[in-house]
Amino acid sequence: MSAHVRKRTALRIGFVGAGRVGTALAWHCRRAGLCIAGLADKDPAQARAAHQLLRLPFLKTPASRVAARSDVLFFTVPDGSIARAYQAARPVPGTIVCHCSGALGLDVFEGRNRAGLDALALHPVQVFTSHVQAIDSLPGSWWALDGSKRGMAFGRRLVQLLDGRAVTVAGAVRPAWHAACVFASNFQAALFDAVERIGSGPGIRQNRMLEIVAPLACTTLESILRQGSAEALTGPVQRGDSETVRAHIEALARQAPELLPMYRELSLRLVGLARSRGLTKSAERRLEKALARRQ
C-alpha cells in the first residue's frame, strides 16, 4: 500500500453531495459518534443547510479537501454525476469510496484498485422527500450492499448502527433490483395520479379522492404483505367479470383516454395472477377480448 496512506485511529466520514440522502447519512453518522470530515456541495446554500441540520460550522470546502480528510468518502450526488465527482475528488489510497445508487455497481469508481481504494455500493430502500423526512425514515430501512471486503465490513457496520437490515446485490443485477424498487415506490405516484384524474370526473377534488381510497389502498397492501400478490387479488379481473372491465374501458375512453394503455397493461398482468388462482380459460378469453377492444 502507498506510503501516503493516512494513519488514523478515529474513522472520519466525508460527503460529496449535501442533498437529502447525504445529509441524512451524515446526521446519523454524527449521532452514532463517527467523525464527519466535511460535506461538500456545488450549491453553497444546500451545503449551508446541511451543516445547520448537523449543527456544524459552515465552511465552503471543495470536494478534494473533504476527500483528503476522509477515511470513508460518500458520493451522494445524482447517479449521472458520481463518476465525475469521484474523478474530481481524487481520494487518497486507503479510502473507502461509497455511493448510494440502487442501479450502479462498483464500476463507476474506475481505477479504484490501481488507486489503492476500497469501494462500497450502499443503496437505502427508502424514499426521501425532504431532509427532515430522510433523517426520520433512514433508521430501520433495508439496504442493498455490494463492495470490496473492507467496504462491505464498513457497510454492514453502518447498517447495524442504523438499526437496518442488509441484502447483498451484486453490480450486474443492480439495475433490475432498482427497477423493482421503482415499481414498489415511484409507480405508486403514477397510480394515485390516475386515481385523482379519474376521480375528478364525478367532481371529487384530488385531496378528497385520496382520502377516500386511502383505507382501500392500505388494506390491499397489508393483504399483499400478509398473503402474497396472487392470494390478495380481488376485483373484476379476479372474478372474471369482463362486462365490468368493458364498462371501465368505455368510461376511461370518454374521460381519461390517456390512461387506457395503463389500465389495459395492468389488467392483463392481473389476468395472469387470476389464472394462478383458478380463473377459467373461458373467463380469461372474455377478459382478454374486452381489454383488446378499441374504442
Alpha helices per DSSP H over the chain: 20-31, 44-54, 63-69, 79-89, 131-137, 149-161, 174-184, 186-199, 206-227, 229-232, 236-239, 242-255, 260-276, 281-292
Q: Report pLDDT digits (tens) over 158-177.
A: 999 999 999 999 999 999 99
Minimum mean pLDDT among 112-121, 130-139, 199-208, 213-222: which range?
Answer: 199-208
Minimum mean pLDDT among 8-22, 23-37, 76-90, 248-262: which range?
Answer: 8-22
Residue 137: pLDDT over 80: yes
What residues contact 124, with CB distance under 8 A and at least 6 apart? Answer: 21, 100, 138, 141, 142, 143, 164
> Is the Cα dihedral 124, 126, 130, 133 positive or negative?
negative
User: Is the pTM here over 0.75, yes or no?
Assistant: yes
Residue 1: pLDDT over 50: no
Residue type (1 letter), 29: C
206: confidence class by pLDDT, cuts 50, 70, 90: confident
Residue type (1 letter), 79: D
Residue type (1 letter), 6: R
Rounded to an integer, what distance in angstroms lies between the CA atom of residue 48 and that of residue 165? 31
Q: Grid cell 481505477 — which residue?
A: 111
pLDDT of residue 202: 80
Mode of pairing for the β-strands spanning 72-75 and 12-16: parallel
CATH class of 12-172: alpha beta
Give SS3 for 89.
Answer: helix
The percent of residues above 90 in pLDDT, for the chain, comes to: 91
What residues contact 204, with CB distance under 8 A and at least 6 apart? Answer: 212
Judge contact between 293 and 263, C-beta under 8 A: no
Q: Report pLDDT digits (tens) over 247-293.
A: 999 999 999 999 999 999 999 999 999 999 999 999 999 999 999 97
Q: Indicate the burial class of 23 (C-beta count within 10 angstroms; 0-12, 13-18, 19 or more).
A: buried
Q: What rounded mean pLDDT belongs to the chain?
A: 93
Within 13 Å, how many C-alpha atoms sit on residue 17's CB side? 25
pLDDT of residue 4: 41
pLDDT of residue 65: 95
**What burial letters (b/e) apply to 161-179, b meaning 16+ CB within 10 Å?**
ebebebeebeeeebeebbe
Rounded to an integer, what distance in angstroms lies between the CA atom of residue 118 and that of residue 286? 57
Question: What are the φ/ψ torsions at residue 250 (nearest 5 degrees)?
Answer: -65, -40
Boundaries of every domain in the chain: 12-172, 184-292
Rounded to an integer, what distance in angstroms lies between the CA atom of residue 227 and that of residue 106? 36
Judge contact between 267 and 245, C-beta under 8 A: yes
